[in-house]
Structure formats: C-alpha cells, structure tokens
Structure 1
Amino acid sequence: MLHAAILIPFLLAVLVPLVKRFPRLHAGWAVLPVPTALFVYFLMQIRGVQSGENTVASVAWMPSLGINITLVLDGLSLLFALLITGMGALVVLYSIYYLEKRMESIRNFYMYLLMFMGAMLGVVLSDNLMVLYGFWELTSITSFLLIAFWHRRERSRYGALKSMLITVFGGLAMFAGFNLLYVMSGTYSIREITLQAGQLSLEPTFIPAMLLILLGAFTKSAQFPFHIWLPDAMEAPTPVSAYLHSATMVKAGLYLVARLSPVFSGQSEWFWLVSVCGLVTLLYGSFKAIKQTDLKAMLAFSTVSQLGLIMCLLGLGSASAFFSGTGESVFYAMATAAAVFHLINHAVFKGTLFMVVGIVDHETNTRDLRKLGGLMSLMPVTFSVALIGAFSMAGLPPFSGFLSKEMFFTAVLNIREMNVWSTQSWLLLFPVLAWTASVLTFVYSMILVFRTFTGKLQPEKLDKIPHEAPLGLLFSPVALVSLAVLFAFFPDLLSSSLIEPAVAAIQYGHLPPEESLHVSIHFWHGWTPEIFMTFGVIAAGTLLYRGYSRLRILDREWSGRDSLNRIYDLSIRVLEGGSARFTNRYMTGSNRHYLLYIFGFIIIALGSTLLGAQGITLGMADYAPVSMYEVAVVAVMLAAAFAVPFAKSRVNAILFTGAVGYMVTLLFVIFRAPDLALTQMIVETVSVILFLLCFKYLPKLKREKEKASFKWLNLIAAVGVGLTMTLIALAAMGSSPFAPISEFFLKESYSLAGGKNVVNVILVDFRGFDTLFEIMVLGIASLGIYALVHLRMESGRVPPAAKNKPAAYLFPLRSNDVILRTMSKVIVVIILTFSLYLFFAGHNHPGGGFIGALMTSAGLILMAISLGVDTVRTLLPVNYRILTAAGLLTAILTAAGSFAFGAPFLSHAFGHFDLPLLGDTELATAVLFDLGVYLAVIGVTMNIIFTIGGDE
C-alpha cells in the first residue's frame, strides 16, 4: 500500500485533463478525494507505528546497483505523510473556492499539485538515498511549475527560476554527499547506513559528506543565506504558498536533517552548523518580517524565521548523541521533541495565516498593509481566525504555539549546562538570541493581525468594498486554526501518537535501551525561567509594537533589494554573460566547425588513450579469409564514399551516400545478419527521403556556384577519425581480456528471455534500458523538429521555395507517375502486411518492433509520395505525436509492470498457453514492450517526415 500511496497522486495527475469533458465540474472536486483518502489511510497507521511496528515495503528496481524502491513508515515519515496529505486535502478544498473553475490552466494547477504531493510522499517514505534524491529533485521541478503558475507575470517566472536554481544547486551537492555515504558504507539504505554510523565517522570523507548533505537541506528549508528564494516564491497563488511554504516543501530540509541525525549527530560540526545556522535564520527572518508591507512577504520571512527555529531545535537535540545510551541523553532529546511539536504547530498556524491572507487579497484585491485596516467589523470570522493564528505564532497562551515556544526556551536553557567543549561560554548566547528573536516574532505577529483588521478602514485605497468570505473559503482556515486550540488543551493527543514515535526515529540509538522517551506537555510548570522569558517577550514585544514606527531600523521600507539578492542577481548576470561570450566563440553557426570539434576530440582523446595503453595488440591473425564478394562490395562502398565530397550537387551526394548504405546492407547479407540487413536497408530508404525533404529548402552548394576549394583540415580530420576508429576496432578484437559476451547471449537467449532471435531479445530484454532511452530520445527529437518547424511557420519565416505554393507542394516528393500510383496501392498493402509479420515474428525469427516500425513507415511514405499527403491523412487519421506518446507509455508501463510481481524494472516473463484455435502458443511480455517500440518509432518517423514535408 505504501507504493500505491505514492503512485496514486501521479496516476490521478495523468487523468486530471479528462475533467475537461465535464465543464460544470470544478477540477478540484475530482482531486480532493485523493489527499483525503491518503490522509485517512495514514491516520489508520498511527496505532501500529505507536506500538513500534514500522512498515517496510520494497520493490526491486536496479538491485545490481543497490537501488530498490524501499519505503519505510516509521514515526518520522508518518508525521510528514500526515502533514502532506492532511494539508493537501485542506488546500485543495480551499483552492476550489479561491480559483475560478473557468480559469485558464486550472487543470494544470491540479496536475502540478498532485505530482508535487506524490514527490513529497516519495521523499519522506524512501529508505534508499538515490530514490529519495529522485523525488527530492521532482519536488523542485513541480514547485517551479506551481510558483510560475501565473507565468505571464515576470515576477512569477523570476521567483520560480530562483527557487529552482537554489534548491537544485543544493540538491546536486546533496547527491554528491549521498554518493560519498555509499562509498563509505557500501549501501544506499538509510537504515543500513544508520547501523554503521559509528564506523563511518572514522572515514576521511565523512565530514565532506555531511557538509554536502547539509547544503542540500539548508537550501531546501530556506536557511540563511539561502533563504532568498522563499520571499520571491510568494508570487505563487495563495493555495500554493499555503501548501508548499507552510507544511511541505520547505520542511523537506528539516526532514532530511532529522532523518540523518542518527548518522551525523555524534559530530560537533553537525551540532554547531545545524543549531547556529537555525538560530541565525530565526533571528534574521524575524527581523526582516517586521520591515515588510506586503502580507505574503511578511509571512514569507516569518516562515524563514520559524524554519530556523525548528532547525535550531534539531541541532540542539543532536547533543543527546554526546551522552548516547545514558539517562542524560533523554534530557537533551527533549529539544528534538520540541522541534517535532513546533513543526506540527507551524504547519497549523502558518497554513491558517496564508489562507487568511489569501482571503484578504481575494476580498480587497490588495495585500499592502498601507492600504488595509478596519476589516475587523466587515470580516469578523476572518479576523478571529487570524487572531488565533497570529497569537499561536507569537507563542501566546492559550494556543499550541505557546507550548512549543516554552519547550524551545527549555531547550536553549538546557544547552548551557552541556559540558562537552571548552567553548561552553558561547552556549550562553543561545537563550539570549532565542529570546530576542521571540520578541521580534511577537512584533510581526501583532503587525500582521492588528494593522490589517483594526484601525480605520480606507475604502478609497481599495478596488472594492470588502465583505466576509464565503463558507467555502473559510472552512479550511477555520479547521486548521481549531487544531491550534485543540492541541493546546489536549497536547497529549500528539505526545504519544506522533511526537514520541517521531523522536524515537530521530534519536535512534542515542536513547538508553532500558528507558523510553516520555513526552509530557503541560500549560503550567510553575514559576520557571521559561515563563519569565515569555512574560519578557510579551512586555518587550508590546513596547516595540507600540513604538516600532518611530524606530527607523524597524519601520523603514527597504529601498531596492538587499545585498544577498543583489549577489544572486549579479551572479546570474555574470554567469549568463560569461557563458554567452564563451559560447559565441565556438558556436559559429558552421556545421563544419562543429564537426571538426567533435572529430578533433575523438582523435585526441581516443587516439592518445590507444597509444598510451599497455598490451594493445591488433589481432589480425584471427580473422576469417576475405572472399571476392566482400572485396567487390567494399570496393564499391569506398568508391561511393570517396565520391561524396566531390559531388557537384546535393542530389548526387545523397545518391552516393545511399550507395554506401546499401553496400553495408549487402555486407550484412553476406555475413548472415538478416536483422541488421533489414534495418540498414529501410533506414537508408527513409534517410534518402528525409535528406531530399531537407535539401529542398537549402540554398545551393557553394561548389555548385563557384569552383570548390580544397580544405586540408577536412582531409586530416577525415583520415584521423577513420584511422583511429579502425585501430580501436582492431584493438578491441585482439586485446580484450574477457570472453566475448556473445556466447552468453547465444546460450541464455531462450532460457532467460524466451526468444530465439538473439538480436531482438537483446533489444527488448537484456539491453531493454538502452532501447527505452533510445525511443525517448527519438521522441524528444521528433517533437523538437515539429516545434522548430511550426514556430518558424507561425513567425512567417517560411522558406522562399514554399511561399504561395499549394498544400501539395509542401510534400515535394509526390509523384504523378500513373504506374507508380497504381502499383503502390498493392505494394503498400504488401509492405504493411510484411511489417506486421516482422513485428510478430521478431522474438524468434528475423524482425522485431523496430524493424517492423521502419517497414510500416516506409509503406506510409510510399503512399504519401504516390497518392499524396491528404490521402494518407484521410485513410489513416492518426496524430503521430500522440502515437509516439502512446508508444512510450506502453513501453514504460510494460517495464514497470514487473513491480506488481516483485521483480526488478524491465523484467519479462514468458510461457506456453493453450489458446483456442491456435493450440499450444508461446507468449512473452516482451512483445508488449516491443509494441511500445513499434508505435513510438512509427510516430517518430512519420512525425519527422510529415513535419519537414509540410504536413499540417
């Protein structure tokens, strides 16, 4: 079920476009059941996780590389899964009333949202580091799409790009750290790495791995100085901000730090980096939040601040590792409990406040504090929700934020007593800075609610008269803010069910085995230092709030962008300018130059390697004798190849090139390789047509207009490449220390893959990954060609030869030959029938999906040439781009179908079945994969041919 929990959002995302068939239905109603059902499912797992029964589900993916899709549901992953799905359900419900159902791209919004939800679930449930990384980067991509949803706005595009660049940069660093962990431990499994934590700490690459992983976590969770992407991400629609920037994406870095704490928390570097970075982020974010006049910008910096608070607590909680296995470790582990509790509270009050700001924006058309005020009487329910949310964020009683803030004060006070380093005096700064940041938090919380809802209404500055939001918009924030009250009066609802299991997962191995952590949360603990710190926060915060407008350092508007943003903008400009200048030096627009670069690199890199390698022999003695037929074919091939550069026209060059290809086909026939011969022959036929279509619109060759000049550099490159590749082929034949792999394929082709045609079995089974990626590349190339050609046509830059010409001219190879047009009707049927035979027979006889598709394409091209494109379109009304997508989808689903049987990706099965009429028949799932190849290649070939040929 865990795999299904991740897969279901992606599957529904694919189906969301079908909602278009029901124009009266808001797409959100079709999406809402998914996060709701997943939330209920994860709620049902609380009892099992609470009793210590962690759920583990694994599907083999690439077991030879140690990469399997292993999912683990423990206390930590369950907590995040509940946040992702619960907040997801409320945000989807909120968005139904916030976004118009007739709005352009509304279905795209829900597609991106579901994909992001699935990716986040993948991050928090994955036990394999490589799988976690894949989902991690997918969250960056989908968040980019969500932030840039209003893509016509320049600031939306800027914010989306900024967030993706910074988080992907950190993600790549994290990827390097994961690989260092694999090198040290020999496994990608987080559970297995955790068990080796003691030995890994002695490795020289342990600290570099830790630093790289922290870089990924800090960029994702907007820690100083990488926080600059978060305020600009507020250009996203408010439901996106409420989801990504309160409960999910920004907490991915916190999750990573918590998940890997058992591995790294015994290092002092980990304690100082995590706790100090979090504390600085807390202080800086709260200071910046006060200076904002835009409500979402204020919430953005308050999010930065609160993320820093949780990060600091995770760092302080790692101090328990220095007393691992003793009773004193429980004392410091309470900081981790505070982090978990505040993580929940932050999702509650920050999600509430984002939705409140969305309501204010929705009802007034502004988020500018200078235009707002006096909304309390017009929007009493919204005001009440905002008041509770802001008070909870400020850490005021009687709301749940007060309880976690008290636990935060306890943690920073406790850390002063730790006697591990000689720098103990520096630990005194933790409570001082934490208290200062809390005062600033109080101030911006009061500004947020009272500057918006109290004071004098300014209707002249508003586009419309505000009124209370409808029930649909209010339901989600009211439900969320009710939790802030519920968790305050009944904190034990969370203590034993969610907080303790999550802390046990984070503190794995550090708590004494005979003693379990018991989290007890109460409103009153007596007259403790923490309660006096809270009184001080309220008193100092009230004074600052009343007088902050007279303090220029707090109230002045920030003119321009701050230095960190300026550094980012300058870096982007320098990188873009430098790369443009560097690229312009070698991107001259000359194909000859590009080929010389490629060939020169081949000659230098491969040639020098070949000359410098030891024990290379050319193995000339092991070849079979050369027959006269082979000599004749090679002689014709060389003559045709030699004639190409001296051809006076492109048509002649095409004919000579085709002659070379057909001679290669004849060589395959002589060497008894029918699959290769068929493929080569059809490829040559289709290539000749493609060349003619392309050359039709190109200017004449230079040597067609004037005397050709001989270029020595071309001759050197040609001879050098030919000689290098010949020597490499001879060296491979004569110097390989291994037995030929062909023996394995010949021996195991039928027993392992159920096919007697070794070539086809290699394509669809043994090397199925290669084939899958190849058809993907072909599909991307064909779509690129289609986009470029039609972009040029839409911009009016049509080739001169095609201007003012009838549609039939756009396929310039159409023949008016009566005999060809008559005979092709019969020949095309024969070709298509033969192509189907090649497809179905390919697993045991010469043929296969690739060859069959090329043969089908050849038949369709013949039909287009003889009968015209319109006839082909009428007889076969196929969208070849959709056909390409259908082929790719068929191949991918067939490859992934093995997961249902617990087999690795792209595992095939075969067997004998007694079928009606056919009797005993052998069937193989590889045929389905081959069908995907067949459809994709037809789609790619015909899309390219008809696009370049002008088929609209």
Structure 2
Amino acid sequence: MSMLHWAIISPFLLAIFVPFLYKYVRPIHTGLFILPLPIILFIYFIQYISITEKYGTQIETVPWIPSLGLDFTAYVDGLGLLFALLITGIGSLVILYSVYYLSKEKEKLHHFYVYLLLFMGAMLGVVLSDNLMVLYLFWELTSLSSFLLIGYWNERERSRYGAQKSMLITIFGGLALLGGFLLLSVMGGTYSIRELAAQSSELAGHSLFVPALLLILLGAFTKSAQFPFYIWLPDAMEAPTPVSAYLHSATMVKAGIYLVARLTPIFAVSPLWIWLVGGIGILTLFWASFHAPRQTDLKGILAYSTVSQLGLIMSLLGVGALSFHYDTIDDNIYIIATVAAVFHLINHATFKGSLFMVVGIVDHETGTRDVRRLGGLMTVMPITFTVALIGALSMAGMPPFNGFLSKEMFFTAMVRVLQADIFSLDTWGILFPVIAWIASVFTFLYSFLLLGRTFFGSYQPEQLPKKPHEAPLGMLIAPVVLALLVIVFGLFPNMLSHTLIAPAADAILTGPFRTEGSALHISHWHGWTIELWMTISVIVLGTMLYKTFPRWKSLYQKFPKRLSLNHLYDRMVDGMERGSYTLTESYMTGYIRTYFVYILSAFIALLAFSILVKGKWHISTDHLAPVGAHELVLSLIIIAGTITTIMAKSRLTAIIALGSVGYTVTLFFVLFRAPDLALTQLVIETISVSLFLLCFYHLPQLSRHEKGIRFRLGNALISIGVGVIVSLIALLSYSQKNFDTIAQYYVENTYEKAAGKNMVNVILVDFRGFDTMFEICVLGIAALGIYVMVKLRMSKGEK
C-alpha cells in the first residue's frame, strides 16, 4: 500500500493498540499518547498543497475485489485535501482540548479515544475514496463511531436517547445512500466517481437517474442534518464537548456537504438537483436560525446554529450548480456560490469549533450551560470571553472576521439567483435572497444571545453549581488557536484563496479555474453594493430584536409541541416498538412445534411456488434402477415406522418407531455399498434415540390437545407436504439435469488433489473443510452454552 493508504488506515491501527497500551501510559493522559498521530497526518497532508494548488491530483489504488470492480482507490484533489486538513487539523486541537476537559481518573479514556480514532479514520476514508462502495463502507463507519461517541456517557438516559436517535436517522439515510450508489453504478457500469462524472451527460437521460439522485440526497441530508432530518443533532449535544466540537462543527455533519459537493459534477445537469439542494438548504438555514434563539442550553443554541450554517453551505452548493449551465467563466456568475460554500466551510470550522470549546469551558468551570443561570462572566473569564466574542461576531457575519467575507459572498450568490433564466428561477428565485436575509437577521440574534446571556448582564454566583474561574492554560490553547485563525483568515483571506479555496471549488466545478486561468481574489470592500446594504439592515434589525427579545420571546411558546418534528419522531419510534412487540408476541409462542410449523409451511409454499413458476413437470424413470424385493420390504418397514411415529399415543413408542426408521435407512446404505454412510447413520441414530429417551423421559405425559385429532391432522398435513415436495424436487432434478454431475470431479480429484482413497472422508475434510470446521464450531458453541446454563443452574441451587 502507498503512504496515502497508510495515512487513511493509521487511526484504525492505533485504535487497535489503545486498549492494550493505555494501562502503560496511565501516568500521562491517554490523549497525549494519541495526539501525535493527527499532528503527523496534518503535516503529511499539507505537502499535497503543492500538488492541488496547481490543480493536480494524486491517485493511489490497491486492488480489493477486482472481479466486482471494488478497489481501494485513494484520490486527493483540492476538495478531498481541504476536508483531510480539517479532519486532522481540527482533530489535533480537539484531542489537545480533551486532555484537559476529560479527567483521566473519572473517565474511561481508552474507550473515548478508540471511538475518536475510529471516527477520524472513517472520515478520512470518506473524503479520500474514489470508489462508491468503499466510500459507503467508511460512511457507515462514521455513523457507528459517532453513535459510540454521542453515547459515551452511557449512564445518562439523554445520552443514550441522543445516540440512538442519531443512529436511526443517519443509518436510515445510509441505506438510501447505498441504493443510490448501486443505481449509479448500474447506470455507469463503474463504481469510480471520476469515471461517473465523465459520463454525466449520458447518465442524465437514464431512467434510474432521478431515483439515484433522490436516494443519494436522502443520505446526504440525513448526515448533514438538513430539514426535516436535523432533529438528531440537538440531542447529540449530550456528548462530551470535544465530541461536539469535532463531529458537529467540522467533520461528521460536513460529510453530507462533501458528498453533495463531490457528486455535483454528476447531478448538476438536473434542475431537480439544483432545486432540492438549494431549496432544502435555504429552508434549513431559515428554520434552524429561527428556532435557535428559543434555546436555553448553550449547546442547544450552537446545535441549531450548526444546522443553520450547514443549510447555508448546502444552499450555496445548490446555487453553485447553476454554473454548469453556462459556457464561460465571465458569463458564469454562479461560480461565486461554490467559492462561498468552500470558504464558509473553512470559516464555520474555525468559529464554530472555538465556540463549542468555549461552551465546554463555561460548563466545565461553572457546572451549567443554562443561560438562565449564567451571566456576567466577562470579568471572571476574560480570555474565554475574548474567544467567544471573536467566534460570535464571525458567526454573526461582522467585519473584519472571516465570517463576514463568506456571508457577503453568500448574499451575492443569493442575489444573483434572480438573474437565472432557467428552471423558473427568474420567477421563484426571489425567495432565495429574501429568506437568506431573514435567516441572517436571526443568525445575528442568536449569535449575540449566546454571547450576551453568558458574559454580559448580572453575575449570579448563587445560581451556579461551581464557583467560576478562568480555564487552565491547556484548555484555552485550542480555542485561542481557532480564534486566531478566525482573525487571520478574515484579515488575509487570500492566503487561502489559491492554496485551498480555488482548488476545492475547481474540483466541484470540474475545471473552470484551471481552464480559464481565473484569479480568485477575496476582499472586504466592493463599494456600496446591495449586499452591503443587506448586511447593514441585518445589523440594525438584529440589534432591535436582541434588545427587545425579552418582550417577544413568548411567541415561541405559541408553537404546539405536539406538532413538532421531535414529537413526531418519538411517536413513530414508540409506535414501531409497540407494533414490533405485538407482532413478535403473535408468533413467538414459546413452543418449538409452532416454530417448526412456520418453517416447514414456508418451505412447502416457497418450493411449490418455484415449481409452479418454472412449470417443468417432466419426470423420467428411464435411468432409475429396478426395485428389488428386499428394498420393497425395507421401504414398507420405513413407512410403517413413520406411521407408528405419528399415531403413537406415548412419546416412548414414537421414539422407538422413529429409531426403527433410522436403522432401516442404515440398511439401505449397506445395500447401496456405502459403509461409511451406514456407520455414520448408525452412530447418529443410536445417539439420537438415546438422547431422546433421556430427555423425553423427564417430560410430562402428552396433553389432551396433543392427543386430539386436529393436532395430529395438522402434523400429518405438514409432514405429507414436506415429503411430497422433497420427493418431487428430487425426481424433477434427476429428470431434468441442466449441469454435469459433480460426482465425476470428486472421482477424478480425490486421490490426485487430496491424496486420499476414501472419497467421503476427503469430501468432508478437504473439499468441504470450512463447512465441516464451522459445523464443529457451532457444536462447540452450543456445548459451551449448555455447560454454562448447567453451571448457572447448579450455582443457583447451591444458594
């Protein structure tokens, strides 16, 4: 494997050793043992900037299942590199922060860091995989590892609820995504994303194109918390703050954003893609920003703000897809939307990561996140306040921070939707800038509510579980670094424009920058544009809403909880649990006979249906051997024993009759010159009869129900049905051979390949070696289970 592949799987390899090594590094925090890996990976991925800034790519392939077209192809371009740097860079800061946030005496740190490493490796696999199936494998692994991280404090009911909720919604989307990937591969004849993008014009006319588009977007929307699937993200805030800062600001929730960006070259030719991505994104932005101010938990405010910011990026990707319908970069005014999406992706990771860490510090040092109990912490925690001020102003879109620049570009993109003359956007496109402006007002509001209700106002030490003080230096390093990046990227945005932003946007738009030679330049001042006036009006109206918030916040109480999406989700889960319990109770009766009735009835129905569908009823007796008198006598004995077994009034008689059937079959094997089979049948039959006699001896007598005619008639019908079906299939198979018998293969190869003279033994041990081994394993597991139950029963009896 190449170094690139090792970089992807290195977090998994380290995760394997953490449970074994953490005991030896306990004098130091486990996080310090983990921290070097993401730092090394971050430095490793930085070297690719020299390749991607020239719009080059790096491709490394390791064959996996070539016959199925599955290869582990690692693909680095501007988009993949951007996400890889976010995953490793933010991951390094989060691990450093967690060293001071999580106590090594109170927490199971080896569990936490194993989950975190699994997630880091899975995210790297998602953003650097070119094969759809490999990408899907890593995609589902992110859901699994995030489930473990969200439910890390599993003793808390809300943590378990949040973990389950995120798992159900994202796994549901993941299954839809798998269906979309399969349809896409059927259309294009390949799993390679690059090869599929090259066929986009041909794929657009395929009948499976729209179903694939819808299924893939369903997977992306659930992962990136788009409306109406966003409801899992606020409940996921029960996770430790380092998890929230990593998963829910910079990485996991961006996986859906990445997928939409990566597949835009394939689906952007469809107006449905533009409307769904842009429309759902702008709706999510508005809905979440409107509901964020009503939250009283600091992480709740950040959760809804994350949803709104993800909606903003998604809407930009939708509008940016319009650029595929213009010929040149000069006429293509929608490229700015994709550039804004990439830029805001970076900005959001910096200011939101710092804000999550600030909230973690406040919770850690005061013992609460409830804004109704907080206030006046500016003088008590001045460094934390400074970081929060920078992050909140950037999130609100205030100059000179980086959030202002990408927000201005967002306004520009939304305004330019009005100029689109395709897909009726020139009619309905007015909704995009209007909703964008309204949502920005509420974004300004919740940003200042987060800042003001925590650090301004009256100081209430009696309301706090702990006496607040400034966080230790180690806990401040990570948020301070992110806050400095907010400032640096705001003041010097063009240090990113050519190294990260343009290459990433170029990968989404498939080459406009490299083909047209456009120079991307980001600046603060563009004159007195409509975007600037929109920003000024956002500040004015947002300030008015902030000042008057106590007077009108009661309006949020007018929304009935019974109509909320969370209530609908809870009702659906409760309904499914009750329905599954009722259904299970209907067939799980506790009687083995009932289960056999289900199994054998299904066996009869399915095989009979298959025979009817095939319609091949020809039965030939030309090649059957003649039946001798001794064979006829043995057959009559088997029939008599079978009838006696069914009609017997005691279990002892039934067991003896059943044994006679088995021993008579042994005689058949002797007559057919199969001594090994005869010996095997003899041993098994002897053991079976002995065990049956031993077990049934301790059972009560047959009940009246078991002696009744209905009970016996049911047994007879099912038995006759199974016998008839099996016999019929045997005769039909013998009469209509479509393939050469495999028996000759064993005759020719038993001695040559296995060096054995006993064909039956060679088949069992060599040709069916794995089958035999697994049968032995099953028997061993069953024996072990029986032994444990016996020991448990004996130990209970002793007590």
Q: Fold match, TM over 0.5? A: yes
Does structure 1 conserve the Cα–Cα contact (< 8 Å) formed by 2:176 and 2:218? yes
The alignment status of 1:44 with 2:38, answered yes or no, reads no
CA pair 592-942 structure 1, distance change in 2 beyond 3 A: closer
Does structure 1 conserve the Cα–Cα contact (< 8 Å) formed by 2:746 and 2:759? no
CA pair 128-847 structure 1, distance change in 2 beyond 3 A: closer
1:522 corresponding residue in structure 2? 523
| Alpha-carbon separation, structure 1, partners of 2:758 and 2:152 | 47
CA pair 54-619 structure 1, distance change in 2 beyond 3 A: farther
2:574 corresponding residue in structure 1? 573
1:528 shift after superposition = 2.6
More displaced stretch, 87-96 vs 392-401: 87-96
| Residue 455 of structure 1, aligned match among 454, 457, 479 | 457
Does structure 2 conserve the Cα–Cα contact (< 8 Å) formed by 1:283 and 1:434? yes
1:275 shift after superposition = 0.7
1:790 corresponding residue in structure 2? none
2:364 corresponding residue in structure 1? 362
| Alpha-carbon separation, structure 2, partners of 1:232 and 1:395 | 26
1:374 corresponding residue in structure 2? 376
SS across alignment from 1:551: helix
Does structure 1 conserve the Cα–Cα contact (< 8 Å) formed by 2:646 and 2:716? no
CA pair 749-845 structure 1, distance change in 2 beyond 3 A: closer
Give, as a single letter, the amino acid of the residue that structure 1 aligns with 2:540.
A
Does structure 1 conserve the Cα–Cα contact (< 8 Å) formed by 2:55 and 2:514? no
| Residue 781 of structure 2, aligned match among 931, 934, 940 | 940
Percent of paired sites with the same residue: 53
CA pair 845-157 structure 1, distance change in 2 beyond 3 A: closer
| Alpha-carbon separation, structure 1, partners of 2:214 and 2:255 | 17
SS across alignment from 1:71: strand
1:729 corresponding residue in structure 2? 730
| Alpha-carbon separation, structure 2, partners of 1:120 and 1:388 | 28
Does structure 1 conserve the Cα–Cα contact (< 8 Å) formed by 2:340 and 2:410? yes
5 Å matches for 1:410-425?
Answer: 410-425=412-427
1:223 corresponding residue in structure 2? 226
CA pair 704-253 structure 1, distance change in 2 beyond 3 A: same
1:703 corresponding residue in structure 2? 702
1:176 corresponding residue in structure 2? 179
More displaced stretch, 424-433 vs 672-681: 672-681
1:14 corresponding residue in structure 2? 16
| Residue 109 of structure 2, aligned match among 100, 106, 110 | 106
> What runs of 5+ residues in structure 2 fail to find an aligned partner?
none
The alignment status of 1:950 with 2:791, answered yes or no, reads yes
1:125 shift after superposition = 2.0
1:213 shift after superposition = 1.3
SS across alignment from 2:430: helix
2:350 corresponding residue in structure 1? 348
SS across alignment from 1:60: strand
Does structure 2 conserve the Cα–Cα contact (< 8 Å) formed by 1:755 and 1:844? no
Give, as a single letter, the amino acid of the residue that structure 1 aligns with 2:301.
M
1:610 corresponding residue in structure 2? 611
SS across alignment from 1:59: strand
Give, as a single letter, the amino acid of the residue that structure 2 aligns with 1:215.
L
5 Å matches for 1:494-573?
Answer: 494-508=496-510, 511=512, 514-552=515-553, 560=561, 563-573=564-574
5 Å matches for 1:135-174?
Answer: 135-174=138-177
1:893 corresponding residue in structure 2? none
| Alpha-carbon separation, structure 1, partners of 2:6 and 2:217 | 30
| Alpha-carbon separation, structure 2, partners of 1:470 and 1:668 | 82
CA pair 429-730 structure 1, distance change in 2 beyond 3 A: same
2:389 corresponding residue in structure 1? 387
CA pair 678-15 structure 1, distance change in 2 beyond 3 A: farther
1:336 shift after superposition = 0.6
1:569 shift after superposition = 1.7
CA pair 664-149 structure 1, distance change in 2 beyond 3 A: farther
| Alpha-carbon separation, structure 1, partners of 2:397 and 2:223 | 25
Does structure 2 conserve the Cα–Cα contact (< 8 Å) formed by 1:291 and 1:558? no
| Alpha-carbon separation, structure 2, partners of 1:130 and 1:760 | 42
Does structure 1 conserve the Cα–Cα contact (< 8 Å) formed by 2:561 and 2:567? no
Does structure 2 conserve the Cα–Cα contact (< 8 Å) formed by 1:71 and 1:127? yes
| Alpha-carbon separation, structure 2, partners of 1:206 and 1:297 | 38
Task: Provide TM-score, normalisation by structure 1.
Answer: 0.75
5 Å matches for 1:466-481?
Answer: 466-481=468-483
1:317 shift after superposition = 0.3
2:283 corresponding residue in structure 1? 280
2:600 corresponding residue in structure 1? 599
1:314 shift after superposition = 0.2
SS across alignment from 1:21: coil
SS across alignment from 1:518: coil
CA displacement 1:463-489 (0-9 Å, x = unmatched): 111111112211211122221122222
CA pair 941-331 structure 1, distance change in 2 beyond 3 A: same
Does structure 2 conserve the Cα–Cα contact (< 8 Å) formed by 1:166 and 1:229? yes
1:689 shift after superposition = 9.5
| Alpha-carbon separation, structure 1, partners of 2:782 and 2:556 | 64
SS across alignment from 1:327: coil
1:684 shift after superposition = 7.8
1:702 shift after superposition = 4.0
1:26 shift after superposition = 2.9
Give, as a single letter, the amino acid of the residue that structure 1 aligns with 2:360.
G
1:568 shift after superposition = 1.5
1:757 shift after superposition = 7.6
SS across alignment from 1:371: coil
CA pair 638-414 structure 1, distance change in 2 beyond 3 A: same
Give, as a single letter, the amino acid of the residue that structure 1 aligns with 2:455.
F
Give, as a single letter, the amino acid of the residue that structure 2 aligns with 1:538.
I
2:208 corresponding residue in structure 1? 205
| Alpha-carbon separation, structure 1, partners of 2:661 and 2:91 | 61
1:233 shift after superposition = 1.2
CA pair 332-453 structure 1, distance change in 2 beyond 3 A: same
| Alpha-carbon separation, structure 2, partners of 1:17 and 1:602 | 47
Q: How many residues align?
A: 788
1:69 shift after superposition = 2.7
Does structure 1 conserve the Cα–Cα contact (< 8 Å) formed by 2:234 and 2:303? yes
1:609 shift after superposition = 2.2
| Alpha-carbon separation, structure 2, partners of 1:585 and 1:568 | 26
CA pair 499-846 structure 1, distance change in 2 beyond 3 A: closer
| Alpha-carbon separation, structure 2, partners of 1:165 and 1:760 | 51
| Alpha-carbon separation, structure 1, partners of 2:382 and 2:614 | 81
| Residue 56 of structure 1, aligned match among 55, 59, 69 | 59
Give, as a single letter, the amino acid of the residue that structure 1 aligns with 2:291.
K
1:680 shift after superposition = 7.9
| Alpha-carbon separation, structure 1, partners of 2:700 and 2:669 | 33
1:588 shift after superposition = 2.9
SS across alignment from 1:58: strand
Give, as a single letter, the amino acid of the residue that structure 2 aligns with 1:15.
F
| Alpha-carbon separation, structure 1, partners of 2:667 and 2:346 | 71
CA pair 589-88 structure 1, distance change in 2 beyond 3 A: same
More displaced stretch, 215-224 vs 172-181: 172-181
> What runs of 5+ residues in structure 1 fail to find an aligned partner?
762-837, 858-935
1:357 shift after superposition = 0.6
| Alpha-carbon separation, structure 1, partners of 2:669 and 2:250 | 62
SS across alignment from 2:73: strand
SS across alignment from 1:57: strand
5 Å matches for 1:477-492?
Answer: 477-492=479-494
SS across alignment from 2:622: helix
| Alpha-carbon separation, structure 1, partners of 2:728 and 2:499 | 69
Give, as a single letter, the amino acid of the residue that structure 2 aligns with 1:700.
L
CA pair 648-347 structure 1, distance change in 2 beyond 3 A: farther
5 Å matches for 1:775-786?
Answer: none
1:420 shift after superposition = 2.0
| Residue 88 of structure 2, aligned match among 85, 89, 111 | 85
1:721 shift after superposition = 1.2
| Alpha-carbon separation, structure 1, partners of 2:517 and 2:632 | 83
Does structure 1 conserve the Cα–Cα contact (< 8 Å) formed by 2:265 and 2:509? yes
Give, as a single letter, the amino acid of the residue that structure 1 aligns with 2:53.
Q
CA pair 744-257 structure 1, distance change in 2 beyond 3 A: farther
Give, as a single letter, the amino acid of the residue that structure 1 aligns with 2:541.
A
Does structure 2 conserve the Cα–Cα contact (< 8 Å) formed by 1:290 and 1:555? no
CA pair 6-664 structure 1, distance change in 2 beyond 3 A: farther
CA pair 272-845 structure 1, distance change in 2 beyond 3 A: closer
